[in-house]
Structure formats: structure tokens, C-alpha cells
Amino acid sequence: MLGLSVLMWNICSVSELSSENMRTCFQIVNAYIYLSATDFLQNYAEGLCRSFCELLQDITNEGQVQVLKVVEIALKVSPILGAHMFQPLLPAVLRGVVDGEKYPVVMSTYLGITGRVLLQNSSFFSSLLTQMASECNQGIDQLLGNVIEMWVDRMDNITQPERRKLSSLALLSLLPSENSVIQDKFCGIVNICVEALHDVMTEDSDTGTFRDCMLMSQFEEPKLSDDEEPPTEQDKRKRLMALEDPVHSVSLQQFVYEKLKAQQALMGDQAFGLLMETVDTEIVQQLQQFLRGL
């Protein structure tokens, strides 16, 4: 790993690199995270996080996206350690969401990271909100409301199917809730879930039933067509990690169903009925179509 130490040292002056070299540099870092997440994060994440914090101050949008992708991958392959090691960076990410970062690609990356954090550990997410609330003298609920509103509003900026499904799972994880701020945003949350259901639900031509096409099973080997290369070791590692990723292991359809049921059980039928009335009737119909058969 001596080579890696040298690389890490170079990262510190990455802002002086050409953008092409910088991209290569980040590719190597990402490959190492996939190769050996725990080892890598324990040894290098602290230094990396420090230089990232500096880098993010003065870097192009493209550079910002590269930096944030490293954090996103770390959170994906090693949720607990990733969140712990890159914690100093996370308030800036949340700030970027609340402030409505104007570049769609950067915003999408912010939301990808926020989604991972929220879905993986809601109390960690709350502690970030609390920290931010005290720094900017705002109420925690007000901040939470702003985050959700911005998320729903900017969902169109997220083009990656993975992040779109993750966004729905993350926002759904706020349910069931008695918090009036979350209930106020219920309509928006349902809207983006239905959008994501449109993305992921595909018809299985063999059985004629609809299923979440992002679900992966360890029993299903990916089918290879004749002109495809066999998977590399790196591909195989990524696949094994994906099996643990909620995006590929949780059925969105099932998750939506369970969360709405839980909200109904919490509020009672009548109040839940009123809450559902805040959602556009056409969206409710689409939702019912997707949930049919559960």
C-alpha cells in the first residue's frame, strides 16, 4: 500500500492537477474503496476527508462531483464507517441541499449522499440536523421541512435510477410519523414515490406481472449475452456489495405499501384518509395500480 500513500499525498494537491489526471486519481481511490473498504477507510479516510474539505472550497463543479462521489461510494459500501469517517463533510452537503444548490449534477450528488445517510441511520441524520439548526439558529423541524421540500422539488435533477429509488426509500423511512412537518410534506413524498415506481416497475414478460427491476437476487446470475465480456473480479465484488445495498435488496413497491400501512395504523383510518386526500387523485390511482396484488 506504499503506492497508495503516495497517491493520497498527491491528492492533497489535486486541485493543481489537470481535470483528466484528477479524474484518474479519483477512479483509483474509488477502486480501492471497492477493493477493501474497511482497510482503506480506516487508513486513509481521515486524511482524505481533510483534503476534501479544503478542496470543496475552491474547485469546479465537476471536481466537486468527483469528491462527493467518493463519499457516496464509501457510504454505500461501508455505511457505518463511511458515515463516521466523512462526518465532517456532511453538514456542508446538507447545507447545499437546504440552500438549493443550483447546479443539477451537484444537487443530485448531494441528495444521493443525504439519502444514504438518512436511510442508513436516522438518528445520525437527526444529529446532523440538530447541529445545523444550532449553527444557523433555525428550528430542527423547519430545517427538516426545508430538506424534504427541496428534495421533492429537485427530484427531476436526479437522473441516476439508483439515486431516484434511494430518494424514495429515504423519504419513506421518515414514515410513520406524527410530526406535523412530515405530514405536511406527505403529498410530496408520495409524489416522488410514484415517480420512482414508474421508473423501477417493469413487466416480467414471462409471467406478465410487474416487479421492481432494480431488485437483485444472489441466486440469479446476471445473464451474459455472447458479445459481453465475462465479469472481472471488480465486477464480482461490486455485485456482492450491491446485494447488501437497499437499492437492490428492498422492493420499493413493498416498502411503500408497508410505510403507508404503518402511517394508517398510527393515525387511524379517518385521519389517514384525510392525509391521502392531500395527494392528487391521479397520483393516488397510479399508486393503487402499483400496489395491486400486495
Ligand X SMILES: *[C@@H]1O[C@H](CO)[C@@H](O)[C@H](O)[C@H]1NC(C)=O
Nearer Cβ to ligand X, position 101 or 212? 101
Using DSSP bridges, classify how beta strands 210-212 and 201-203 pair: parallel, antiparallel or unpaired.
antiparallel
The b/e string for 223-262 (b: 16+ C-beta within 10 A; e otherwise) is eeeeeeeeeeeeeebeeebbeebbbbebbbbebbeebbee
Q: Where does residue 208 fall: left (phi above 0), alpha (psi -120 to 50 degrees), or beta otherwise?
A: left
What's the closest the beta carbon of residue 106 comes to ligand X, in angstroms?
11
Our CB check for ligand X shows the closer of 157 and 167 to be: 157
The CB-of-173 to ligand X minimum distance in angstroms stands at 13
**Residue 91: count of CB within 10 angstroms of its CB:** 14
Q: Nearest distance from residue 52's CB to ligand X, in Å? A: 20
- Min separation Cβ 79 and ligand X, Å: 7
Closest contact distance (angstroms) between CB of 190 and ligand X is 17
- Neighbour count for residue 66 (Cβ, 10 Å): 23
Smallest distance, ligand X to C-beta of residue 56, A: 21
Residue among 80 and 136 whose Cβ is closer to ligand X: 80
- Residue 264 grid cell: 394508517
Comparing CB distances to ligand X, the nearer of 164 and 165 is: 164
**Helix (H), strand (E), coil (C) string for 162-174:** HHHHHHHHHHHCC
4 vs 92 by CB, closer to ligand X: 92
- Residue closer to ligand X by CB (options 121, 138) is 121
Distance separating alpha carbons of residues 222 and 239, to the nearest angstrom? 10
At closest approach, how far in Å is the CB of 286 from ligand X? 20
CA distance 74 to 273: 41
Q: Where on the chain is the footprint of ligand X (CB under 6 A)? A: 80, 104, 121, 123-124, 127, 153-154, 156-157
Q: In sequence order, what E strands does the chain have?
A: 201-203, 210-212
Residues 6+ apart with CB under 8 A from 79: 116, 120, 121
Tell the smallest beta-carbon distance from residue 273 to ligand X (Å).
30
Q: Which residues contact 150 (CB under 8 A, 6 or more apart)?
A: 97, 98, 100
Cell (9 digits) for 214:
432494480
H/E segment holding residue 254: helix 252-267
- Bridge partners (DSSP) of residue 148 are none
Handedness of CA 253, 254, 260, 261 (dihedral sign): positive
C-alpha cell at 62: 465537476
Looking at the Cβ atoms of 123 and 137, the one nearer to ligand X is 123
Q: Would you say 55 or 107 has its CB closer to ligand X?
A: 107
